[in-house]
A and B are shown apart, each in its own frame.
Chain A
Amino acid sequence: MSVTYIIRRVLFLFLVVWVAATIIFFIPRLSSRNPIRERFAELARSGGFSAQNLEQIVGAYNKQFGLDKPLIEQYFNYIGQLARGDLGPSLFRYPKPVIELVMDALPWTIGLLLTTTVLSFILGNLIGALASWPRSPGWVKGIMGPIMMLQGIPPYLLGLLLLFYVGYRLQLLPLGGAYTKGTFPNMSISFILDVAKHQILPALSLILATTGFWALGMRGMGVTIQGEDYVNFAEHKGLSPGRIFSGYYVRNALLPQVTGLALSFSGVVVSGGLIENLYGLPGVGSVLGQAIVANDYFVIYGITIFLILAVAIFMLIVDLIYPLLDPRIRY
């Protein structure tokens, strides 16, 4: 793989992030809402101080955040800040910087999304491959029906149903939160098991909803591959069915699935965020939900640009790994 390709790909990444950052910068400024003024109006309403000095206070904060400078200058300041990794202060946890909020919440999100994506990818592809293999038992092919139906349901709905029936009615698993209230996070086995128990329902809803997607794709690919000549040739050579299955069949069908994995990252992040919101896990999605309710624009913008950057970096990594999986690809 040539160095020019890698450089081109990284430049493309920067281009995407820059375009996204520009969009994120301009859209809120086109509207007439001013987050700082709104925040202070809220404080004034609940705290009860008079509105005369409100203009002065808002003016002082505007000056501090540089919001009274011309738009172009603000834009360059913004891009400069982004390049340094500074996403600005948050409003509803002032003055905690947005980036710190995100970093605190990130481990939970990564834990949930990484496990569920890997598990559902492996499981889904396996089921899909077995479902289109003519020699698999009948029940495997039968599973495809319910899985297809499940796949259309957004993970959020599945999460809601699971939460109600398993958590509330049957009281088998906890109702939300990342760990039992009142325990302090520490590295003991009991705490880890507690965390794991709380993650079962969210992980289950994500896995059930996304497995079907991989299974469907794999089944489609599998049917196409079975007609190929090399599978025929392998059978005539007398290879064992297991070897044909793993070496010839799954291996070739996996490549487009990996591309699909890269493309699905943005969807996974979004679904994960909604599920986190539902279950009260302290991940990035929850912070975004709270920020929306609290009208905290700086956090919303910061998290949006962060997630876009994360998705773009993942896609770059998958793109670079691709030639390792398929030696025929030359860039």
Chain B
Amino acid sequence: MATTSPAINPVSAPNSMVQMPSRGVLFARYLRRNKSLAIGIFIVLFLILFTVIGSATLNTVKLAYPLAVKPKQPPDLACLFDPTKSVGKGCFPLGSDFYGRDLLATMVRGIWQTAVIGVMAGAIGTAIGVILGFISAFYGGVVDTIIKGVCQVLQPIPVFLIQVLVASSIDKRYVTIYAMALIICLLAWPGPTLVVRSQVLSMKERMFVSVARLSGMTNIEIVFKEILPNLLPFIAASFVGQVFGAIFASFGLSVLGLGPLREPLIGNTLYFSQYQAALFNNWWWWPLWPTLALILIFGSLTLINVGLDEVANPRLRRSE
């Protein structure tokens, strides 16, 4: 909005007049347009805050495991404001379950562990997929045929069944959350591999790769400086999808009773509440909090996925 005379020389115009807003402001404006991404990120931040503040203030290592508090207590949110009681000594904001776990601590620890499993398995699965997809597309030939063939054969197999198989074959002593994450990402890589491979194949033929090669860049440089930055949206979307799938799989496994039964995973809590017929014993709060937590987690991941959809498909974008 410089009020200039028509004869002003652009080079000598002060460059503090028109400035691009900072990255943060641009991102915030984008969020205003892309409401589902905004809500998804907001819910994730809320969950992270819940977990972090909860872990810092409560003794979750003790309270989230059996025999910690008096069992079968209904929730009583008002006691949070009562200075005489503290959580774990007579105050049960979210109630307690049949085994004496305090449900607030259970939720805090459970969401954290579920997130750890999801992110770990998702990251490993996406990483393997990206590496294999790259190798397969870049080197071509026999390597490509082998990797592509293996992925195509493994893709129709319902991964969850194989996970059930592996989880039920392992001795129960060895099932920890890290073992679960490894089981989940065992068969998670064929999908991302095929996607990354097709993207890299189409990019390989494009002009900018040939120009880069002509200007003397080595293969490795081309991969990291030219192809990878263009692939980042797909890798991000694939990562979110993998995390979603990993949390889904861990939930499925633990709700069947195949997870690390001692840990307060959300699926485990639901498994135990079903085992003790919580709904029919009128302990309605026991399955309610895990269900709400899962709805929040899955809902936020879906919204983020839908929000990222816009990045991939430009026609879905709406202007402000």
Contact = CB atoms under 8 A, between A and B. Distances in A.
A19 interface: yes
Contact size class for A? 35 or more
Interface stretch (B84-92, B137-145, B165-173): B165-173
A260 interface: no
A317 B255 CA distance: 32
A16 interface: yes
Contact of A148 (B36, B158, B171, B315): B36
A283 to B, nearest CB: 15
Interface stretch (B1-9, B74-82, B212-220, B295-303): B295-303
B316 A220 contact: yes
| Residue from B161, B170, B299 with most neighbouring chain A CB atoms (10 Å) | B161
A148 B303 contact: yes
B161 A308 contact: yes
A216 B251 contact: no
A160 B286 CA distance: 12
B279 A168 contact: yes
B255 A161 contact: no
Interface string A259-278: 00000001101100010011
B254 to A, nearest CB: 11
Nearest to B174: A31
Nearest to A295: B168
Interface in B257-316: 257-258, 270, 274, 279-280, 284, 287, 291, 294-295, 298-299, 301-303, 306, 309, 313, 315-316
Contacts of A149: 299, 302-303
Contacts of B252: 154, 156, 270, 274
Interface string A282-297: 0000001100110101
Given A19-B153, A160-B270, A270-B252, A224 B313 contact: yes
A152 B154 contact: no
Interface stretch (A21-29, A74-82, A92-100, A133-141): A21-29
B38 interface: no
A152 B301 contact: yes
Contact of A152 (B157, B256, B299): B299
B14 interface: no
A164 interface: yes
Interface in A2-61: 12, 15-16, 19-20, 23-24, 27-28, 30-33
B301 A16 contact: no
Interface of B is mostly: helix
Interface of B: 36, 152-154, 156-162, 164-166, 168-171, 244, 248, 251-252, 255-258, 270, 274, 279-280, 284, 287, 291, 294-295, 298-299, 301-303, 306, 309, 313, 315-316
Interface of A: 12, 15-16, 19-20, 23-24, 27-28, 30-33, 148-149, 151-154, 156-157, 160-161, 163-164, 168, 216, 220, 223-224, 227, 266-267, 269-270, 274, 277-278, 288-289, 292-293, 295, 297, 300-301, 304, 307-308, 311-312, 315
27 contacts: A16-B156, A19-B154, A20-B162, A23-B157, A28-B169, A31-B171, A148-B36, A148-B302, A149-B299, A151-B302, A152-B298, A153-B295, A154-B294, A156-B252, A164-B284, A168-B280, A220-B309, A223-B313, A223-B316, A266-B157, A266-B159, A270-B158, A274-B255, A293-B257, A295-B168, A300-B164, A308-B156
